[in-house]
């Protein structure tokens, strides 16, 4: 199920707080950083905050720059991004600025919350999502019903914590402000819980006046048949690797990456790597890992094309090599067409042996791109 690209945005004090406990919102960013946030807002389809942030800060969440709004309209987009909030209780102030500024608004809530929001006269489209609010369903709803492809999440800590823990955050834009809060009752950015083990990937740092912006991406693969945001990043890398393959008219160009459960890259490879004219991508990557590496059983293989099930050039097809390595999870973009082997079904072979196979068709076009010269 395709989901929006989810960008978490927050500013924190040096001691990791989102706010203090005073009645006024604590200003952590600098003026130039507020302008950067305005620019990010202008770039997205929707902005989401939790009900706690509406209650604490009464934010308007607008694109403030008239030029940026005009640019959106010129591109055929709404003047303001859709504003979205989540609440289980529906206990919201109908007079809050959130409902009465900007463009369209949506409240994602529970059945109970929807009844309460209707009774309060909340001026938004109220969407009940069942007895509990499931983030996967909520994001899928934003994608399908409102066409949200890029979602900016502006807090607060409860919402950020859940999205990161569930593997739904594609990116974290964190601003570190040079001040200290020092109040244990103040809200923190991330609460306790089961986050990904291992390290996130630092993709950018930028000084903006006296604050520092850091951009991170999660790295830990999802589990089972659900695709996490990190799964999508790794599969995109596999598709990029396919472009490195020496050209061939008789074999696919494929890229592959093997990633440990904590998000550590174990190896990568691509078809015909190193001048071996029959080498497959998964085979090339696996050959770089010690077969006794204890991280293999919990690893995920990302392959732009599903691992092969039949092979004339080597004794074992890639699906078999993956299973023999002890790996039980594969994420791929493209099911193998009948170009060279009719009804190849590497995914079926893997699944029959108990492996989880996740196919993300939204990456198929990228996986096909280095193969467009092939027949069919
Ligand atoms: N520095 C920054 O960048 C920044 C940005 C934003 C906010 N903040 C600060 O963060 C604080 C607010 O954070 P917060 O953690 O208290 O609130 P929050 O994350 O904004 O919202 C939490 C509320 O959202 C609803 N919610 C969240 N997950 C849900 C789920 N799975 N199912 C149903 N409802 C769900 C619940 O609403 P109900 O209670 O209605 O059920 C919950 O109480 C404020 O102090 C604010 O100033 C700082």
**In a shared domain, residues 208 and 279:** no
What parts of the chain have a pLDDT lower than 50?
Answer: none
CA angle 54, 196, 287 (to 5 degrees): 145
**In a shared domain, residues 208 and 238:** no
Q: Cβ atoms within 10 A of the Cβ of 248, count?
A: 15
Cα of 54 from ligand 1 centre, angstroms: 8
Q: Is 365 exposed, middle or buried (0-12, 13-18, 19+ CB in 10 A)?
A: exposed
Instruction: Residue 255: give its domain's CATH number.
Output: 3.40.140.10
**In a shared domain, residues 319 and 269:** yes
**In a shared domain, residues 126 and 152:** yes
Q: Which of 173, 191, 217 is the last residue of a domain?
A: 217
Mutate which of 8, 52, 120, 188 to test ligand 1's pocket (most atoms within 8 Å of Cβ)? Answer: 52
Task: Check if 16 has its Cβ closer than 6 Å to any atom of ligand 1.
Answer: no
Q: Is residue 156 part of a domain?
A: yes
**In a shared domain, residues 272 and 366:** yes
- Which two tokens mark 250? 């008789």
pLDDT digits (tens, 9 = 90+) for 278-309: 999 999 999 999 999 999 999 999 999 999 99
HSE-CB for 152 with a 13 A CA cutoff: 23
Q: Is residue 33 part of a domain?
A: yes
| 36 sits in which H/E element | helix 31-43
Q: Which domain holds residue 350?
A: 229-371
- Rounded to whole angstroms, the Cα distance separating 230 from 221 reads 6
Q: Is residue 246 part of a domain?
A: yes
Cα of 323 from ligand 1 centre, angstroms: 43
Q: What is the pLDDT of residue 301?
A: 98
**In a shared domain, residues 133 and 9:** yes
**In a shared domain, residues 195 and 252:** no
Q: Is residue 83 part of a domain?
A: yes
Q: What is the pLDDT of residue 313?
A: 85
**In a shared domain, residues 192 and 288:** no
Task: Check if 187 has its Cβ closer than 6 Å to any atom of ligand 1.
Answer: yes
- Which two tokens mark 73? 């309209």
pLDDT digits (tens, 9 = 90+) for 320-342: 999 999 999 999 999 999 888 88
Nearest CA to ligand 1 atom 10: 156
Q: Is residue 107 part of a domain?
A: yes
Q: Which atom of ligand 1 is nearest to the CA of 28?
A: 1
Helix (H, G, I), strand (E, B) or coil at 141: helix
Number of domains in the chain: 2
Q: Is residue 87 part of a domain?
A: yes
Q: What is the pLDDT of residue 197?
A: 87
Q: Is residue 314 part of a domain?
A: yes
**In a shared domain, residues 85 and 181:** yes
Q: Phi and psi at residue 76, in whole multiples of 5°?
A: 80, 20
Q: What is the pLDDT of residue 376?
A: 72
Task: Check if 48 has its Cβ closer than 6 Å to any atom of ligand 1.
Answer: no
Task: Check if 305 has its Cβ closer than 6 Å to any atom of ligand 1.
Answer: no
| 195 sits in which H/E element | none
- Which two tokens mark 146? 């409102």
**In a shared domain, residues 160 and 80:** yes
Cα of 178 from ligand 1 centre, angstroms: 23
C-alpha of 287 from chain center: 29
Q: Which of 217, 247, 272 is the last residue of a domain?
A: 217
pLDDT digits (tens, 9 = 90+) for 32-55: 999 999 999 999 999 999 999 999
C-alpha distances in angstroms, 76 versus 45, 46, 70, 71, 144? 12, 15, 10, 9, 19
Q: Which of 217, 243, 269 is the last residue of a domain?
A: 217
Instruction: Residue 13: give its domain's CATH number.
Output: 3.40.430.10
**In a shared domain, residues 167 and 293:** no
Q: What is the pLDDT of residue 206?
A: 98
Q: Is residue 222 part of a domain?
A: no
**In a shared domain, residues 203 and 55:** yes
């Amino acid at each position: 199920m395709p989901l929006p690209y989810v960008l978490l945005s927050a500013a924190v004090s040096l001691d990791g707080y989102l706010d203090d406990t005073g009645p006024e919102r604590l200003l952590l960013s600098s003026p130039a950083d507020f302008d950067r946030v305005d620019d990010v807002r202008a770039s997205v389809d929707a902005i989401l905050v939790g009900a706690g942030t509406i209650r604490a800060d009464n934010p308007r969440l607008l694109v403030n720059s008239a030029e940026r709004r005009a640019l959106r309209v010129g591109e055929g987009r709404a003047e303001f991004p859709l504003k979205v909030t989540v609440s289980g209780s529906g206990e919201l102030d109908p007079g809050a600025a959130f409902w009465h500024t900007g463009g369209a608004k949506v409240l994602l809530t529970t059945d109970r919350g929807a009844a309460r929001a209707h009774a309060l006269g909340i001026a938004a489209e109220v969407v009940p999502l069942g007895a509990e609010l499931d983030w996967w369903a909520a994001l899928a709803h934003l994608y399908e019903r409102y066409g949200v492809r890029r979602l900016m999440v502006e807090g607060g800590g409860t919402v950020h914590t859940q999205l990161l823990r569930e593997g739904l955050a594609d990116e974290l834009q964190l601003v570190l402000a040079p001040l200290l809060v020092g109040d244990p009752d103040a809200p923190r950015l991330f609460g306790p819980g089961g986050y990904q083990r291992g390290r996130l990937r630092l993709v950018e740092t930028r000084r903006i006046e006296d604050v520092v912006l850091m951009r991170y991406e999660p790295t830990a693969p999802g589990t089972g048949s659900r695709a996490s945001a990190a799964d999508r990043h790794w599969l995109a890398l596999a598709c990029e690797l396919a472009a490195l393959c020496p050209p061939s008219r008789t074999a696919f160009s494929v890229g592959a990456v093997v990633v440990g459960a904590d998000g550590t890259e174990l190896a990568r490879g691509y078809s015909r790597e190193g001048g071996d004219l029959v080498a497959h991508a998964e085979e090339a990557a696996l050959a770089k890992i010690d077969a006794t590496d204890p991280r293999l059983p919990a690893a995920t293989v990302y392959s732009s094309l599903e691992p092969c099930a039949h092979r004339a050039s080597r004794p074992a097809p890639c699906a078999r090599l993956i299973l023999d390595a002890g790996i039980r999870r594969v994420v791929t973009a493209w099911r193998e067409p009948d170009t060279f082997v009719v009804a190849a079904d590497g995914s079926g072979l893997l699944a029959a042996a108990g492996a989880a196979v996740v196919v993300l068709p939204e990456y198929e076009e990228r996986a096909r791109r280095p193969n467009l010269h092939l027949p069919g």
